[in-house]
Amino acid sequence: MNLKRILRLTSLYLLFSFIVQQVAGQNRTITGSVLNERSNPVVGASVTVKGTSIGTSTDSSGTFTLSVPASANTVVISYVGYANQEITITGRSSFTISLASSGQTLNEVVVIGYGTARRREVTGSIATVTSKDFQQGTITTPEQLIAGKVAGVSITSNGGSPGSGSTIRVRGGASLNASNDPLIVVDGVPLAPSNIYGASNPLSLINPNDIASFTILKDAASTAIYGSRASNGVILITTRKGVSGKPVINFSTQVSVSTLVKEADVLSADEYRKYVDTLGTGNANGVPFKSMVGNASTDWQKVIFKTAITTDNNLSIAGAFKKVPYRVSLGYLNQDGILRTDNLRRTSAGVSLTPTLLDNHLRIDINLKGAINSSRFANGSAVSSSIYFDPTQPVYNTKSPYGGYYEWNLADATNGELSLNKLAPRNPLALLELYRNTSNVKRSYGNAQFDYKFHFLPDLHANLNLGYDVAKGDGKIDVPVYAAQNFLDSGQHNKYNNRVGNSVAEFYFNYNKNIASIKSNINATAGYGYYNNLSTNYNYPSFRANGDTIPGSIPTYAMDKPQNTLISYYGRLIYTYNTKYILAASIRTDGSSRFSPATRWGVFPALAFTWRINQEQFLSNSGSLSDLKLRLSYGVTGNQEGISNYSYLGVYSYSDNSSKVQFGNNYYNLATPSAYDENIRWEQTESYNIGLDYGFFNNRISGSIDAYFKKTKDLLNTTPIPLGSNFAPILLTNVGNIENKGVEFLINASPVRNKHFSWDVSFNAAYNNNKITNLTATQDPTYVGSVQSNGVQINSVGYSPYSFYVYHQQYDKSGKPIEGVYADLNKDGIINSSDLYRYQSPFPKWVLGFTTQLSYDKWSLSTVLRANIGNYLYNNPAVGAIQSNVFNSLGYLVNTLSELTKSSFYYSQASSDYFVQNASFLKMDNLTLGYNAGNIFRNKVGLRINATCQNVFTVTKYTGIDPEIYQGYDNTLYPRPRIYVLGVNLQF
Amino acid sequence: MKCRNNSIIVMLIMTITVFTACTKDLDRSPLNSNTSEVQYSTPAGYKAVLAKVYGSYSLVSSSGVGNSDVSISGISDAGNTDFIRAYWNLQELTTDEAVCAWNDGYLQNLHNLNWTSSNVYVNALYSRSLFQITVANEFIRQSTDDALSSRNITEKDAVDVRYYRAEARFLRAYQYWVLMDLFANPPFVTEADPIGKYIPKRIERKDLFTYIESELKAIDSSLVAPRMNEYGRADQGAARALLARLYLNAEVYTGTARYTDAITYAQEVIDAGYTLMPHYKNLFMADNNLNNTEMILPIAYDATSSQNFGGTTFLINSAHSTDATEVSAYGIVSGGWLGNRSTENLPQAFGDYSGAADKRAMFGTGNLKVSSVLDFNDGLKVWKFSNKNSDGTTPYSPNGTLVNTDFPLFRLAEMYLTYIEAVKRGGIGGSDAIALGYFNKLRERGYETTGGNVSSYTLEDVLNERKRELYWEGFRRTDLVRYNYFTSGSYLWPWKAGAAAGTGVDSHFNIFPIPSSDILSNTNLVQNPGY
């Protein structure tokens, strides 16, 4: 394909094309087969006569037959994950079409904010991941599909619980106290980060199987059109749509087995007995430690973890009904966590309709999705309890009044009567089995988008997008009266529920005009958006197991209805000269109900310039160079998520019923004035980006390099304010500055590509360095910064956020840390808080991702590896490995990590840098072997089989269970399991 | 066809019109909160804000025990920001009356007399006091006669609101007294200052003395008569008791002794009809809110409705181990955070500290001598406060930790001791005979016989009597400063300033530093000398 030809190609989704004249005439029939880059048949590809809704789709052998009007001269072939292809049908009736996967083509249509663009003309730093490049295996939440796939996008799962979600960061965080989460837009509808009760993570209600592609907008040139919600990047999710032609049924089923990868390294029962025997010479209130040791040998981690089974079944039908393309999907997931009692069941359904009306002038895109999650949440405290519970005690004790589980008791010195030791760790298995937290969550979201192309001016489109996102979360927690975990409250019988109702309305005009006489293209957009987020959260008293209300727990208010509204106006102009020089400018102004009338409107502009260098004459003879593009951009974005809804208002609210004041014989609820900053406003991020896109050898090697600099001002920081000036000693106010700078590199290559064998590789690397440059309104070098509530991390000027703030441990000659001996860093002769220093950052300097796929005929083998370099982690479980915990005065023994025998600390040395460990790692996320059997059952069914191993291995120096924990504080994570998956996909 | 297109365009125009009319939707307000106009539109609204003025020293927050009005960087447990707990830490752990075994550097700084301006416990009290002052200022600002008439509060209701206002002024004066006593030269804000991004002025100790004195005198006629107010609320008795306390320590604050005034006001309180409770221990039990004839002003706690992990919950739980017998005997079945004990100087002050003679000696288990501050078994536990009722029953506690015992912020015994000391120090208007009578009243109540009575006493005896009568009630540091024993080497106790036998330190430790965080935020402040 020559470049002229490529330039002439346009996309189906870009409806900016010519008016098609439907001329009545004789029909003729064309046939063809559609192959992918490995010459395998493509099933379900859409084949449409250009400019009409006449079309079909390929069958299970990849072939099609289509009756076309005599006047038709072009058909368009499209398939998710591949570039659209147009072929001229004049004078021919049989075709073989090879589709190129979209990662390697410049004609791919990329979704951008409020529109689409062709990859080659994209002005911002945009990454796209389509379904063929998704992570394989058991993926319960959508964001995990792209982990490790995009330079500068780090996705850290929050643990191994089913549906637990992830922390997503695009180019590091831009904020300290407001949200750092990117904006997620599904089919043009921005999702508000509403808290749904009973859902561990709102994204867990989106079925990953319904997703066709992700587009990540990274720099301000591409995100500024989202204005006040864009500082942390924007992730656009496009769901799968219907195709024209006869229905294609796809059924996939997966079964997987999850196992615990690694137990925390605790003392075994025998080691523990020996330890107490050797060192436990003392007593607690007269009870010798040695007498507390039991006879059992219990591996508590084995007791609470299990091998868990997950099944995931998905069925979809895509086709066209009376010329209306549709896709209907159903999914059912049943996932057990490896922690006993943990379970998630999700039933999901989706409908997509994409009719075209009024002579193709009105295109309607309707997406409706719904899911019902039924969860049982395990009591997560069992994980840490399994580390601390004495391994010499049995799991069960037939005489135990606590449901038959062994628990620590205290004996009354006078009458010997036993009572529960309230401060002791609880039996880990009892924590799980006697705690029943079940929830039922329903969520539905969707939109209807109307794109109208004016009859009198086809270059002008009007686009109306109406979206909704509603959810209903209900749950209850039951603990029996005899359970030790709620013994004082006589069990619990509690409930929780809320409702979320968010609505979106957007309207924009788009004008796209080619002016051949001046070699120019103008693409202008102007629009309006209205976003309303309303939750209704119900409050309940606490109940005992028998249904009695616990005194003092009756809530003051039966419910609350937090609400916020955003109104936006936006515009964008993209001017292209001679297909080589592209200038794009956008502006958005947002009004937010979170700010006072004086500060609520913000303006967010962006400017970008792109030079397609390979289009220049002087490079036209360079045969090996297929793409070279320089991108420059600057923009301003904002951040308002994480700022509470009414923080600018000074108001009074009534206190809880447990916080009343007694006057006489009555108790009065307190009317409390709130601290407020009436001038609170957006955080604003200025971003600069320079990027280069390259492609060689017909894009068999392609990629990009980006460098960026982001500077956030008016950063919200909870700073101390002069006492006496407001109703709190600290106030969230706009005072700080933070900087992020980084480099991203991406290369995709296909070293081998022939009839039988192909090999693709993709590698990305991102370097990010963030630094706080200001935190206070007045400059004072004596301000150390804000120490985090965990006591070992600090935000301070000149350092990365959440840097560790610790003493420098001193070691003896054998390399063993000396208890309580730290370096006197300021050399004043005393060791005190002025000797604390900032030691390392929890965030990686480098994040690397590597994907490769080998295909040989029907077989394929693929793997994804990820690495983080330069991230440190505070090993909190190891901090607890001290003698004074084992031999405490509280009447019970606790186990610890075997760290105890290495550092042998007596008292806690929580502020020692000894516990801040290098947590750089290399992980193999998955390894997949696939077999595409092709068509079986008389060529009617396409069969694919996959075997995947997830979480294959981890290479790290970190001594805890898993080095990958966001923000650097290891507090006994729910372990991520290793998962073995077998999947079968059938297509009819 | 044409018609259809037109209708689409009409629809578009309508849509745009509807959308752009929505900017008023940006004015959202919370469902469960009131603007000040709504809050102060009724007398009940005023009383609810008055409850917050009181709640600022009886609770840590309006939203349960886990949150704090004064969240402080470095303090994760909200209970540490409670007024009594923070006050007690600075007034008692710094003295011979208490040590704490919790291995927390900032806490250990207190007994070691080596705290710095970044000490979080110093900051906790300072912030708590200023918080209550700020809330009181708001109430005072909103309850002027002009405000009442503009809000149509009837004259009948306005009478009550004026009492509330005088009480808010009393509580503000009380907290300024706390700040003057411990921090000397704090920031100074009144109802005349705004709320917002404002930098308060600094006030010097002697000027603050004048202010507190004038406020307390000014509100005297606006307060309810002694013993006539609702339980838990301040009256003239409380204001006069504070004046007596202020005058007793006046020389420390201003350099000028005011013992005559101390006698005057102590006498006024004594004459107001308060009487000593017959049994000392009942003063510190869960039902001490009932028929308590000695209480001038309590801070009231309730395990159900006024929950707080500071206050008496802290005093009781931190004095007991988890020993089942011990905790059930004191009404805290799941309690026992043991940390606080005494140095031997406290029990030794009784001679026989078994409680057999002087029943005020209420000590628990432990070694008399403290060989290690961090050893929970060293130092006798102090079992003065209890969550048992005086009839031996245990009141309800939702979690077995929270208690119902009220804390005596002002009680009659202190007024006797103020009178006694002021007379001994040369104040005019009292008499030695009456003073000796008061002295023996306290001892008779303690011994429950006349066996402990004395025929004369020295100034030193007064200090020791104060220790025996008022230990662990938050007086000790102020008393030692007044006797010039707090930092000097002339009176020592175990582990004073970190030395086993005790040692003196520089006199700048007589007052605490202004917390560094407020020095940073408030450029009008000046650090106290020596820090």
pLDDT reported for residue A9:
32
Q: Residue A36 falls within a domain, yes or no?
A: yes
**A838–chain B nearest CA distance, Å:** 16
Shared domain for A114 and A204, answered yes or no, is yes
| Nearest CB to A671; choose among B48, B76, B324 | B48
Only one residue has tokens 């003295």, namely B95
pLDDT reported for residue A37:
66
| Nearest CB to B15; choose among A358, A423, A507 | A507
Q: Which residues in chain B are contacts of A677 at CB distance < 8 A?
A: 196-197
Q: Please give the residue that has the higher pLDDT: either A108 or B284.
A: B284
Question: Could you tell me how many helices (H) and strands (E) chain B has, helices first?
Answer: 20, 7
Interchain contact, B334 vs A488, CB within 8 Å:
yes
**A562–chain B nearest CA distance, Å:** 7
Range of the domain at A57: 3-100
CA distance to A11, A50, A74, A577, A933, per residue, from A17 (Å): 9, 10, 13, 19, 40
Shared domain for A94 and A113, answered yes or no, is no
Backbone angles phi, psi at B33, to 5 degrees: -130, 160
| Nearest CB to B19; choose among A507, A564, A662 | A507
**Other beta carbons less than 10 A from residue A19's beta carbon:** 12
- Indicate if the alpha-carbon torsion angle A796, A798, A802, A808 is positive or negative: negative
Q: Residue A407 falls within a domain, yes or no?
A: no
Interchain contact, B131 vs A783, CB within 8 Å:
no
A 171-230 residues with CB < 8 A to B: none
Interchain contact, A658 vs B305, CB within 8 Å:
yes
ipTM over 0.90: yes
Q: Which residues in chain B are contacts of A969 at CB distance < 8 A?
A: none
Residues near B528 by Cβ (< 8 Å), separated by ≥ 6?
B183, B184, B185, B508, B511, B512, B513, B514
Domain end among A40, A70, A100: A100
Cβ–Cβ under 8 Å, residues B216 and B239? yes
A398 to chain B, any CB pair closer than 8 A? The answer is no
Domain end among A239, A268, A296: A239
Q: Which residues in chain B are contacts of A672 at CB distance < 8 A?
A: 52, 55, 62
Q: Residue A197 falls within a domain, yes or no?
A: yes
Interchain contact, B63 vs A464, CB within 8 Å:
no
Shared domain for A131 and A226, answered yes or no, is yes
Q: Tell me, what DSSP letter sits at residue A63?
A: E
Amino acid A295 reads: N
A 575-604 residues with CB < 8 A to B: 591-593, 597, 600
Q: Which residues in chain B are contacts of A722 at CB distance < 8 A?
A: 187, 198-200, 518, 521-522
A 496-525 residues with CB < 8 A to B: 505, 507
Shared domain for A69 and A140, answered yes or no, is no
Residues near B226 by Cβ (< 8 Å), separated by ≥ 6?
B235, B236, B237, B240, B269, B272, B273, B274, B296
Binned at pLDDT 50, 70 and 90, residue B103 comes out as: confident
Residues of chain A with pLDDT under 70: 1-26, 37-40, 60, 80-81, 83, 100-108, 413, 622, 778, 780
- Closest by alpha carbon to B343, among B506, B492, B509? B492
Distance CA A742, CA A746 (A): 14
Mean confidence (pLDDT) of chain B: 94
| Nearest CB to B26; choose among A591, A667, A780 | A591
Interchain contact, B305 vs A660, CB within 8 Å:
yes
CA distance to A343, A375, A545, per residue, from A436 (Å): 11, 10, 12
Nearest CA in chain B to A782: B520
A859 to chain B, any CB pair closer than 8 A? The answer is no
Interchain contact, B195 vs A550, CB within 8 Å:
no
Interchain contact, B400 vs A776, CB within 8 Å:
no
Interchain contact, A652 vs B36, CB within 8 Å:
yes
Shared domain for A125 and A93, answered yes or no, is no
Distance CA B494, CA A530 (A): 69
Distance CA B237, CA A342 (A): 61
Distance CA B119, CA B106 (A): 6
Cβ–Cβ under 8 Å, residues A893 and A289? yes
Q: Residue A553 falls within a domain, yes or no?
A: no
Shared domain for A81 and A180, answered yes or no, is no
pLDDT reported for residue B196:
84
- Cα angle at A201 between A195 and A207, to 5 degrees? 120
Q: Residue A558 falls within a domain, yes or no?
A: no
A 250-289 residues with CB < 8 A to B: 285
Distance CA B177, CA B180 (A): 5
Number of cross-chain residue pairs from A and B with Cβ atoms under 8 Å apart: 314
**What is the CATH number for A139?**
2.170.130.10
* Side-chain-side CA neighbours of residue A682 (13 Å): 27
Interchain contact, A727 vs B138, CB within 8 Å:
yes
Only one residue has tokens 């760790």, namely A425
**What is the CATH number for A50?**
2.60.40.1120
Q: Please give the residue that has the higher pLDDT: either B414 or A774.
A: B414
User: Which of A749-753, B75-79, B362-366 has the highest mean predicted lDDT (pLDDT)?
Assistant: B362-366
DSSP 3-state of B325: helix
Q: Which residues in chain A are contacts of B118 at CB distance < 8 A?
A: 833
Interchain contact, B49 vs A889, CB within 8 Å:
no
B24 to chain A, any CB pair closer than 8 A? The answer is no
pLDDT reported for residue A617:
83
Dihedral of CA atoms B82, B85, B87, B88 in degrees, nearest 10, equals: 170
Distance CA B489, CA B35 (A): 56
B255 to chain A, any CB pair closer than 8 A? The answer is no
A722 to chain B, any CB pair closer than 8 A? The answer is yes
Q: Residue A661 falls within a domain, yes or no?
A: no
The predicted-structure confidence for B385-409, as pLDDT tens digits, reads as follows 999 999 999 999 988 899 999 999 9
pLDDT reported for residue A445:
93
B 87-116 residues with CB < 8 A to A: 103, 105, 116
The predicted-structure confidence for A585-622, as pLDDT tens digits, reads as follows 999 999 999 999 999 999 999 999 999 998 888 877 76
> A800 has which bridge partners?
none
| Nearest CB to A670; choose among B25, B48, B118 | B48
A 898-957 residues with CB < 8 A to B: 907-908
Q: Residue A95 falls within a domain, yes or no?
A: yes
Shared domain for A235 and A121, answered yes or no, is yes
Interchain contact, B28 vs A564, CB within 8 Å:
yes
Record the tokens describing residue A309, joined without a space.
């089974």
Shared domain for A78 and A185, answered yes or no, is no
Only one residue has tokens 């955080």, namely A683
B374 class by beta-carbon count within 10 Å (0-12 exposed, 13-18 middle, 19+ buried): middle
Q: Which residues in chain B are contacts of A557 at CB distance < 8 A?
A: 31-32
Nearest CA in chain B to A599: B26
Q: Which residues in chain B are contacts of A461 at CB distance < 8 A?
A: none
Shared domain for A197 and A147, answered yes or no, is yes
pLDDT reported for residue A947:
95
pLDDT beyond 70 at B50: yes
Q: Residue A45 falls within a domain, yes or no?
A: yes
Shared domain for A121 and A228, answered yes or no, is yes
**B313–chain A nearest CA distance, Å:** 14
pLDDT reported for residue B98:
97
Q: Which residues in chain B are contacts of A452 at CB distance < 8 A?
A: 8, 12
- Closest by alpha carbon to A838, among A791, A800, A895? A800
Distance CA A108, CA A35 (A): 17
Domain end among A239, A254, A277: A239
* Side-chain-side CA neighbours of residue A241 (13 Å): 22
- Closest by alpha carbon to A737, among A683, A787, A794? A683
Q: Please give the full DSSP string across A869-889, using - where no structure is assigned.
A: ES-EEEEHHHHT--HHHHS-S
**B228–chain A nearest CA distance, Å:** 11
**A882–chain B nearest CA distance, Å:** 14
Distance CA B20, CA A974 (A): 48
Read off the pTM: 0.82
% of chain B surpassing 90 pLDDT: 85
CA distance to B176, B299, B342, per residue, from B125 (Å): 12, 16, 22
Only one residue has tokens 């490049």, namely A133
In a mutational test of the B interface, the residue from A661, A807, A819 whose CB has the highest number of chain B CBs within 10 Å is A661
Shared domain for A166 and A74, answered yes or no, is no
Question: Number of structural domains, chain A?
Answer: 2
Q: Determine the length of chain A.
A: 988
Distance CA A593, CA A567 (A): 9
Strands (E), A807-857: 809-811, 817-822, 837-839, 846-856
| Nearest CB to A661; choose among B232, B328, B400 | B232
A667 to chain B, any CB pair closer than 8 A? The answer is yes
Shared domain for A113 and A235, answered yes or no, is yes
Could you give the angle at which helices B459-470 and B432-447 cross, rounded to 10 degrees?
Answer: 30
The predicted-structure confidence for A845-880, as pLDDT tens digits, reads as follows 999 999 999 999 889 999 999 999 999 999 999 999
